Structure 1
């Protein structure tokens, strides 16, 4: 998360697991952009240029306007996992 936050066009990030038929789980980064959203390829290139190993770069990057919150005001990663799982199911249909 901290490496993505270092990008000028990224306001906030939350990384969650998403289901994968082959590996069981993969990573998905939810990004709130600052102004004009960068492209997924820009963010992945940025991470590679920072020396991040390919296997540590999120498998998927989704842009979102705001994060769902828990009752105490923290980011609800449970809800984000649900969001990506539903998107994946919709794509499979």
Structure 2
């Protein structure tokens, strides 16, 4: 779960997730929304992949990114579980 929160801690990565909420996008299409170098954006994509927040598939020469909402749901469930435990104390 720490990996998820670390990935969510950067505004660029949160914006990538917000864009992917609308549907799958190629790395090139995502890059058009940012004024940062592609290698830097690639680092952000890798952080999101490591946290399993995005899934990636290759279509020809393009990488297509998809939002993985199940990981976000699991993280939210973990937070709610912690809240429930605190309320029981």
TM-score normalised over the length of structure 2: 0.28
More helix as a share of residues:
2
Structure with higher Rg: it is 2
More strand as a share of residues:
1
TM-score normalised over the length of structure 1: 0.27
Q: Which has the higher contact order (CA 8 A, sep 6+)?
A: 2
